[in-house]
Amino acid sequence: MAMSQPKVRIIANACITRYDSGEGGIIDIVNSYNMAAVDQELVLAQVYARRPDLEDAVPAAE
């Protein structure tokens, strides 16, 4: 079962804060929370909705 929307928003905000503090790339930060794949996708979607500039920082999949 996917996380609740409030929890997704809280984790997304934490990821953005950690990214802004220079702790690493946004993907690495999200992965550090050890969530299910569906939850990672929800968090990344929330991160990109709040900070579209971070989506450009992610290398494209080959």
36: Cβ contacts below 8 Å, ≥ 6 apart: 2
> Does residue 1 belong to any structural domain of this protein?
no
Q: Which residues of the chain have pLDDT under 50?
A: none
Please tell me the total count of domains within the chain.
Answer: 1
> Does residue 58 belong to any structural domain of this protein?
no
- Whole-Å CA distances, 60 to 2, 9, 31, 39, 57: 26, 24, 17, 20, 9
- Whole-Å CA distances, 38 to 3, 8, 22, 60: 9, 11, 26, 20
> Does residue 3 belong to any structural domain of this protein?
no
CA 62 to CA 60: how far, in whole Å?
6
The reported pLDDT for the residue numbered 58 is: 64
16-26: pLDDT as tens digits = 999 999 999 99
